[in-house]
Amino acid sequence: MLELLVRRAEKTEPGFAQKRLRWALAFDAKGKFLEAVELGDAGKRGNRGQAFALCPEYERQFKQSGGKSEFLWDAASTVALFADDPGDEKLRTKHAHFVWLLEEAAGVVPVLAPVARTLADESQLALVRKALASAKAKSIDKTTLLIDGKFPVESSSWHAWWRKQYGEAASVTGAGPGARESAQRRLCFVTGRPAEPLMTHPKIEGLAGVGGQGMGDVLVGFDKDAFQSYNLEQSANAAVSKEAAYSYRAALNDLIRNSSRKLAGALVVHWFKDAVRAEDDPLAWLDEGAETRELVARHQAGELLRAIHDGKRPDLTDNRYYALTLSGMSGRVMVRDWMEGSFEELAANVGRWFDDLAVVHREGGRTAADPKFLAVLGSTVRELDNLTPPFVAKMWRVAARCEPIPPPALVQALARVKVDIIKDEPFGHARMGLLKAYFVRQDRMKGMEESEMKPNLNPDHPSPAYHCGRMMAVLAKLQQAALGDVGAGVVQRYYAAASAAPAMVLGRLVRGAQFHLNKLEGKGLAYWYEERMGEIMGRLSDSVPKTLTLEEQSLFALGYYQQWVDLRTKKSEDKKEA
């Protein structure tokens, strides 16, 4: 995984990193402060600021030595003493270091000198802090400089000076704890080449929304004795060169910023060996469903696979995908899952995912639209906040790798289906599709070429539980046709019991159905219902189960749903034919 990330990263130089900066302090060419400017999507909630490709960056352990700041950018508290206590001694030391760096770099970037003088002036700092407060900035927001309409951080004139400054700081840091191990060259776990191990790895940014820390989280770290062996210090336990560490950090940060999607408590990032157009990305289809596309996703997958097989898309034939599911915990990056495989396999699996989820629309007459991946996850819980990162990671793998639906997902979805039916809530297509997909994939594991579970009603389904659910739907529709809205009807009073112990409940309900048949207007309608009940009883014969397992209760629910939809459409069709 780390090797692939390093390959993906462009040539990364330690001391430089891409950053998103939220604010800019604007000055004129003479150093006069003008205003505080919000960068990025100004005024929007969750604004992450503007991305700058090559920002100077000190090594983590150098800043941890105390009183050190970054160059050309830092938190607003450091740049302008914008904090609850501007007189804090430690904060003032960091601010002084920020100003000192500007003064030192003024030899190569002259416009920094007057700005350094302004930031060293207490009265001018008061104006800067007032402007930041009026703009509703936060003390932790990353802030840079805008001088005479230009960002010094985007200039290359300071690069050579910075390399020297960074090198001197790094050499001082290397004299600290762990220097004995660092002096010993070891094989880099990423590149396989001899190198001096980087003792403390740079942090991964962008996981604050999924359990991570705002200041970043460590992917590789050994800060506990239990993580260390053979008397080795820190990251010497898994040697990685500085160049490799900063490269994987740069690649992963870029993926999190530009190619990630949040799914409940986890963040999913993915990339391809060779670039893929956005419209050809199968994993994007999982996230989008069919709401923003003219074609359903499974159709898109089929078209793409045919193009690959026919040789019309040679650019995708040997392509591969890589996907990570991440979250943060206690300052560490948690890798919840890692997947890789061929592009062709991914497209086929995503197509199967939507095929397996396909279920008749609750209004009848058509198949429901392909659901978004998050809608499928949400179908298992009452609130999306109840989804856990391990479950999200597992279901993402299920979709991308065509693995069986895990039983806990079936159990959770079934519980929500029962609540919807009893409360007479509209059926959720994603929820019913997930129940169906469970059985489709079970049949596929058994080697069946075609599953008995169809998107629509299957009168020939072999499961008695399925037909028990069908009977419950017919009885419910019959009561509604005979009596109208009666409040707590057959479903509200008996569905839960019938789906668990059908033999004890259905027989009594079928015998009582004669009362409802007699209430119907016209013998034709009564005969229509008797015909449906007779067909189902013929399927059941004497095999009405006494009790049903959770899997069988799911079949009961599917039988109920598909028969319920079928009755909505077939009833009117039969009347027209008559």
In tens, the pLDDT along 217-273 reads: 999 888 777 777 877 877 778 889 888 888 898 899 889 988 888 888 889 999 999
**Residue 464: which of 568, 576, 546 has the closest Cα?**
546
Per-residue pLDDT tens for 104-118? 999 999 999 999 999
For residues 487-509, give the mean pLDDT: 88
For residues 462-472, give the mean pLDDT: 94
Identify the pLDDT of residue 296: 63
Identify the pLDDT of residue 294: 41
Query: What is the C-alpha to C-alpha distance for residues 212 and 205, in angstroms, rounded to an integer?
Result: 8
Query: Helix, strand, or coil here: 46?
Result: coil
Residue 329 has pLDDT above 70, yes or no: yes
pLDDT interval class at 570 (50, 70, 90): low
Query: What is the C-alpha to C-alpha distance for residues 422 and 375, in angstroms, rounded to an integer?
Result: 21
Query: What is the C-alpha to C-alpha distance for residues 9 and 425, in angstroms, rounded to an integer?
Result: 50
Residue 295 has pLDDT above 90, yes or no: no
For residues 498-511, give the mean pLDDT: 90
pLDDT interval class at 288 (50, 70, 90): low
Identify the pLDDT of residue 297: 66
When the pLDDT of each residue in the chain is averaged and rounded to a whole number, the result is: 87
Identify the pLDDT of residue 326: 93
For residues 334-353, give the mean pLDDT: 92
CA–CA distances in Å: residue 190 to residues 7, 14, 219, 239, 252:
10, 16, 14, 9, 15
Residue 527 has pLDDT above 80, yes or no: yes
Cβ contact 453:439 at 8 Å:
yes
Residue 7 has pLDDT above 90, yes or no: no
Straight-line distance from the first to the last Cα atom of the chain, in angstroms, rounded to the nearest whole number? 66
Cβ contact 531:517 at 8 Å:
no
Identify the pLDDT of residue 11: 61
Identify the pLDDT of residue 286: 79
Report residue 310 CA to chain centroid gap. Answer: 33
Predicted TM-score (pTM) of the model is 0.75
Identify the pLDDT of residue 25: 97
Residue 313 has pLDDT above 70, yes or no: yes
**Residue 239: which of 196, 288, 296 has the closest Cα?**
196
Strand bridging mode 23-27 / 186-187: unpaired
Identify the pLDDT of residue 576: 47
Query: What is the C-alpha to C-alpha distance for residues 349 and 353, in angstroms, rounded to an integer?
Result: 6
Per-residue pLDDT tens for 421-462? 888 888 999 999 999 999 999 999 999 989 999 999 999 999
Q: Where are the domains of the chain?
A: 6-166, 185-258, 260-445, 464-577
- Bridge partners (DSSP) of residue 271 are 322
Identify the pLDDT of residue 308: 84
CA–CA distances in Å: residue 537 to residues 357, 459, 548:
29, 11, 18
Cβ contact 53:17 at 8 Å:
no
Range name among 360-364, 407-411, 521-525, 551-555 with the lowest pLDDT average = 521-525
- Bridge partners (DSSP) of residue 61 are none
% of the chain residues with pLDDT over 90: 51
pLDDT interval class at 43 (50, 70, 90): confident
Cβ contact 385:329 at 8 Å:
no
CA–CA distances in Å: residue 382 to residues 377, 413, 435, 438, 512:
11, 10, 16, 20, 35
Identify the pLDDT of residue 488: 67
Higher pLDDT, 316 or 146: 146
Query: What is the C-alpha to C-alpha distance for residues 144 and 24, in angstroms, rounded to an integer?
Result: 5
